[in-house]
Amino acid sequence: MDVVEGRVFYQGRLQKACVGYEDGLIVSVKKALEGEEHYDFGDRLILPGAVDPHVHFREPGLTNKEDFLSGSLSALFGGVTCVLEMPNTVPPVVDAESLREKRERILGRSWVDYGLFACLSPGKDIEGLSNCHAFKIFMGSSTQSVLMREETDLAEALVSAGSTDKVVSVHAEEDDMLLQKDERFLRDHEECRPRGAELRAIERLLTYQDKARLNVCHVSCPESLDLLKGSRTTFEVTPHHMLLDSSMDLGAWGKVNPPLRRRGDREALFTAFCKGEVPMLATDHAPHAPEEKERGFGEAPSGLPGVETGFSMMLALVKRGHMSLDTLLKAASMTPAKTFGLNKGEIAEGRDADFVVIDPRDIRKISARELHSKCGWTPFEGKEAIFPQAVFLRGRMMLRDGTIMNERCGREVSHV
């Protein structure tokens, strides 16, 4: 057994403790423990690694933007020890063959653990997709999306998904309500993708909630929270919808679907998050190359990177007193792990030994130059973040003080 010692987040609070782990699993949490290796982190915080249920690492086919190596390295540096990765690649992951090809291609190339989404598409059988981790549906068009618009297709897909135990994550924007017009500013993009489209899509989805395990991705306005409140459907909010808005001077770098909305919307989402009303934090890390974003607003693709900055910015907001550490860790680690059936997300006996060590005094300003995504830019330049000083993946110290310490060992997760 090896041991990490410090101020451990255990049973809902920080306590001075030792965590013993063996063969990648936590075996004991006690005031004092003796291990072969003993890492004493003093008064630094030992937290569960974050689980990001929504990232796009662009393999195969879009590797000018990102690939599994660079995306997962970026996750590791951001304290994210597990990601669930999206299927809107080229080709998209929609059947047994595309899933197998992707799986083979990324094998051995991830710095963190990962699960793979497969896209449900009209008329396609889900049979071949039995070993994806979860399903994705795009109700509204977005980057390389495989659309599902018709009621009969949606109903059929959700009923078959419901015959499995897998979660269906949905990009909820009603495609018929999206407008095509000249876009030059973030406000235009927001007008073209009105909140009504999100609300309508969520209303439609909620009629299926006893059929399948539904999860609504990247909720962008407080009215959607009202619709989802009290339902059994889980949902995600992104850091960008809580920290950025369409009045900011971001140009195409802030173009994303669903769009950044008004300042009041962003503040309402952030307030709900701080109150613990948002089940999951998800970054929707969706990198595009700078030259693609520089094409001019109308031509630029939607999406922005965030897997390295999401958890770390929220940790700085905990330090600044906006929310409790408990609230953040529930949304960033515990609930995503629980929702998607992962043996992760908390420091407890039997869980994977995925730890992030932070020093709350070590607040830094985000700089794109220091991040690890291939895309090389961030919309969060200059914002405060607390990056991990050490990261452990299933008991292996992967990162310490900015240096990689171990061989790459990320592996595909399975349901527990």
Nearest approach, Cβ of 294 to ligand DOR (angstroms)?
A: 16
Phi, psi angles (nearest 5°) of residue 311: -65, -40
Long-range contacts of residues 224-227, Cβ cutoff 8 Å, at least 24 apart: 224/172, 224/195, 224/198, 224/199, 225/268, 225/269, 225/272, 225/277, 225/278, 227/199, 227/202, 227/203
Nearest distance from residue 66's CB to ligand DOR, in Å? 10
- C-alpha 390/C-alpha 355 separation (Å) is 8
Interface with ligand DOR (CB under 6 A), residue total: 10
What are phi and psi for residue 378, nearest 5 degrees?
-145, 145
Question: Considering the rule CB under 6 A, would residue 303 count as an interface residue with ligand DOR?
Answer: yes
- Specify which residues 400 forms β-bridges with: 390, 403
Q: How far is the CB of 180 from ligand DOR (least distance, A)?
A: 16
Which is nearer to ligand DOR, 56 or 133 (by Cβ)?
Answer: 56
Contact 192, 183 (CB under 8 A): yes
Is 284 a residue of the active site? yes
Taking a C-beta distance cutoff of 8 angstroms, is the pair 389, 357 a contact?
yes
237 binds ligand DOR (CB under 6 A): no
Among 70, 142, 224, 246, binds ligand DOR (CB under 6 A): 142
Binder among 143, 169, 215, 246 for ligand DOR (CB under 6 A): 143
Residue 286 touching ligand DOR (CB under 6 A): yes
CB of 302 to ligand DOR, least distance (A): 3
**Residue 197 in the binding site for ligand DOR (CB under 6 A):** no
Site for ligand DOR in 355-394 (CB under 6 A): none
Count of other CB atoms within 10 angstroms of residue 37 = 11
Judged by beta carbon, residue 142 or residue 233, the one nearer ligand DOR is 142
For residue 364, the tally of other CB atoms under 10 A from its CB is 13
Question: Would you say 261 and 222 are in contact if contact means Cβ atoms under 8 Å apart?
Answer: no
Residue nearest to ligand DOR as judged by C-beta position: 303
Q: Which amino acid is at 199?
A: L
Write the interaction track for ligand DOR spanning residues 69-108; mark x where CB under 6 A is met and - where it is not. Answer: -------------------x--------------------
- Alpha-helix residue ranges (DSSP H) falling in 349-388: none
Give me the amino acid identity at 184.
Answer: R
**Are 104 and 137 spatial neighbours (Cβ–Cβ below 8 Å)?**
no
Residue 373 CB contacts under 8 Å (≥ 6 apart), including other chains:
66, 70, 71, 74, 285, 287, 305, 307, 308
Asked if 148 is part of the footprint of ligand DOR (rule: CB under 6 A), the reply reads: no
Annotated catalytic residue, options 188, 284, 352, 354: 284
Say if strands 167-171 and 134-138 run parallel, antiparallel, or are unpaired.
parallel
Q: Is 234 in contact with 214 (CB distance < 8 Å)?
A: yes
Contact status, residue 195 vs residue 221, Cβ threshold 8 Å: yes
Looking at the Cβ atoms of 33 and 99, the one nearer to ligand DOR is 99
Between 138 and 387, CB nearer to ligand DOR: 138
Tell me, residue by residue from 5 to 44, as one string, x for binding to ligand DOR by CB under 6 A and - for no binding: ----------------------------------------
Q: Please say which residue, 257 or 333, places its beta carbon nearer to ligand DOR.
A: 257
Task: Pick the binder of ligand DOR from 171, 195, 240, 351 (CB under 6 A).
Answer: 171
Judged by CB under 6 A, does residue 56 bind ligand DOR?
Answer: yes
On the CB side of 59, CA atoms within 13 Å amount to 21
Q: Decide whether 1 or 147 has the Cβ nearer to ligand DOR.
A: 147
Q: How far is the CB of 171 from ligand DOR (least distance, A)?
A: 5
Shortest Å distance, C-beta 19 to ligand DOR:
36
Q: CA-CA distance, 177 to 192, in Å (whole number)?
A: 8
The residue (of 147 and 206) whose beta carbon lies closer to ligand DOR is 147
Q: For ligand DOR, give the closer residue by CB, 80 or 274.
A: 80
By CB under 6 A, residue 257 contacts ligand DOR: yes
Q: Tell whether the torsion through CA atoms of 250, 369, 325 and 133 is positive or negative.
A: positive
Among 160, 302, 327, 339, binds ligand DOR (CB under 6 A): 302
Interface residue list for ligand DOR (CB under 6 A): 56, 88, 142-143, 171, 256-257, 286, 302-303
> What residues act catalytically?
284
